Structure 1
Amino acid sequence: MTRSSEKSAYHHGNLRAALLDTARSLVQAQGLDGLTLRAVAERLGVSRSAIYRHYSSKDELLGQIIMEGFEQLRAATAEAAQQRAKRTESCPLDQLHHMGLAYIRFAVEHADLYDLMFHPSLIGRSCDTVKMASLRSYEVLTDMLQRCQQAGQIKAGEPHRQAFAIWASLHGLVSLCRGRPPHAVPEATLEGGFEMLLEQLMAGLATQQQWRSVLQTDTSD
Structure 2
Amino acid sequence: MPYPAKTSAEQILAAAVDLLERSGIAGLTLRALAADLKLTPNALYRYYDSRDTLLAAVAVQGARLLLEDIRAALSQPGNSLTHLAQRYLAFAHTRPALYDLYMTCDTLNAEQRAVYDQLWELVVGQLQPLAGGYSPDLTMTLWSYLHGLVGLERSGVYDSPGSPKPPQNLAFGLGLLLAGLEKLNPTS
Task: Place the TM-score, normalised by the shorter chain, in its bin.
Answer: 0.7 to 0.9
Mapped to 1, the partners of 2:159 and 2:178 lie a distance apart of 23
What is the CA–CA distance in structure 2 between the aligned matches of 1:145 and 1:30, rounded to whole Å? 36
1:82 paired with 2:82, answer: no
Q: Which residue of 2 aligns with 1:95?
A: 80
Q: 1:137 aligns with which of 107, 115, 119?
A: 119
Deviation at 1:29, TM superposition (A): 4.0
Aligned equivalent of 2:154: 178
Question: What do the CA deviations read for 1:144-164 (whole angstroms, capped 9, x no partner)?
Answer: 111335xxxxxx432101111
Render the CA deviation track for 1:171-211: whole Å, top value 9, x for unaligned: 110121122x4x3549xx76x3110111121221125xx9x
- Using the alignment, how far apart are the partners of 1:29 and 1:72 within structure 2? 17
Q: Which ranges of structure 2 fall in alignment gaps of 5 or more residues?
A: 161-165
> Structure 1 unaligned runs (5+)?
85-89, 150-155, 211-221
Q: Deviations over 1:115-173 (max 9, x none)?
A: 11113xx33x2222332111111111100111335xxxxxx432101111111101110
Query: For residue 166 of structure 1, what is the aligned residue in structure 2?
Result: 142
- 8 Å contact from structure 2 (residues 60, 116) kept in 1: yes
Q: Contact 1:80–1:99 at 8 Å: present in 2 too?
A: yes
Is contact 2:21–2:95 with CA below 8 Å preserved after alignment?
no
Once residues 126 and 178 of structure 1 are traced to their aligned partners in structure 2, the CA distance between those partners, rounded to angstroms, is 26
- Among 165, 176, 181, the alignment partner of 1:200 is 176
Name the TM-score, length of structure 2 as normaliser. 0.81
Aligned-partner Cα distance in 1 for 2:29–2:143:
32
Please tell me the residue identity of whatever aligns with 2:48: Y
What is the aligned partner in structure 1 of residue 92 from structure 2?
A: 107
Length, aligned pairs only: 178
- Indicate conservation of the 8 Å contact 2:21/2:97, yes or no: yes
Q: 2 CA distance for matches of 1:193 and 1:74?
A: 23
Offset, 1:22: 3.4
Q: Which residue of 2 aligns with 1:38?
A: 31
Answer with 1 or 2: which has the greater Rg. Answer: 1
Distance 2:143 2:172 in 1: 15
Determine the C-alpha separation between the residues in 2 that align with 1:172 and 1:107: 11
Q: Whole-Å Cα distance in 2 between the matches of residues 42 and 79 of structure 1? A: 35
Please give the secondary structure, in 2, of the residue aligned with 1:118: helix
CA distance in 2, matches of 1:80, 1:63: 26
- Cα RMSD between the aligned structures? 2.5
Instruction: Tell me how far 1:17 sits from its aligned partner.
Output: 3.3
Contact 2:73 2:80 in 1 (8 A): yes
1:7 paired with 2:1, answer no
Give the Cα separation in 2 of the matches to 1:81 and 1:118.
22
* Deviation, structure 1 residue 109: 1.8
